[in-house]
Structure 1
Amino acid sequence: MTTSSLFHALLLLAAAGASAAATLRPRQGGDECCFQLASVGTVNETVVESHVGSLLLGGPFQQGGFCLDGAAGTVRDGLGHGCFMRAPAYQFACWAAGAVGPNAFAVSRAGPGGRPHLAYDGRPGVFLACPVRSSAPPSYDIYSADKPDAAGCLAVALALVDETPACAAAAASNAEAPSSSSVAISARPAPTPPLPRRRRAQDPART
């Protein structure tokens, strides 16, 4: 092999390696529901995973790849780490291999954007996208709706992207999955109800 052809082969190998590394894909069996995630709502970004396992919307990290164990209600990432949201922060992250969190995940039927999305704990799959400070371009940490301080956060759904055929079966079998009409995705906070009007004291002369 000549020097030029060897150099060309190395370039092709490097390009293939870079493409494969762009997404952390879990090892999967033929009947597993595996997917990537993207937010639907005011924030529309791909879910990426940081080097410490935090899941974010946008940012310089690799696109996350996940698999759902429908029977156990668990999600794992491409490294086999369990992904969940736990108190007190309720941030969505993937922890050490074998870690099991408190959440029960499921694949919903068609949700916002017309695609199945990730739901948890038998509730509509609403997540909170909270801006990361000093992030350029903007990125968002992901939390469950149980986050105590949601100031500045935006409600989003996490839609399945590039999912395996098994995910359709998982969604069809999920009788409790919320429909798109039951998932409220809005950037505006709920309006404050008006204060009740005080009733005037009744005039004794009219009684």
Structure 2
Amino acid sequence: MTTTTRQPVHTETVEGFGTITLTPVGPAADAALIHSWVTEERARFWGMAEYSRELVQEIYEDVDRRTTHHAFIARRDGLPVALFQTYDCAEDRVSKCYEVQPGDTGVHLLLGPTQGAAEPGFSACLIAAFLAYVFATGATRVVAEPDARNEKAVARLERTGFVLGQEVELPEIDLPEVYLPAKRARLAFLYPTLVIR
């Protein structure tokens, strides 16, 4: 199934910004786009800088097969602007690092490259739409675990309303279908009442 046949799971129109849609990643159709984003220097904390397009496709094919992990392309007025991912914390390596509560949903966010000067409020609008979707799917708490060195991501989470937790060591995952190196991460937690737009 390709992106063109996948339907958005969330659509939100933000006055003065445009219409944001979240559509499940189509691994074959979206691999080239995702690869072009994750291999940029600014995306170094995503951990895929050296990956080939084929490996990126394989990774998102693995995500696509799972019922606990999901990936979405965010579009603004039809143009792709970000990659969002969600996962069940109880079924992820982060569960080894803190006491998971029912309803904990993990998130990852990678903004696509911008055209021209930075637009005030751009990331805030996208994140708010993404969080609205996550909470609408039944999450009672959102968990983030950015690379501990990624000061910009940590600061963005704080501005959004996340409460910072401890630094942890996410364990290495080495399976036939997926490899993730160990990562020093900073936990952050968000409840629905704390979301700041």
TM range (shorter): under 0.3
TM-score (norm 1): 0.26
More helix per residue: 2
Quick one: higher RCO (CA 8 Å, sep 6+), 1 or 2? 1
TM-score (norm 2): 0.27
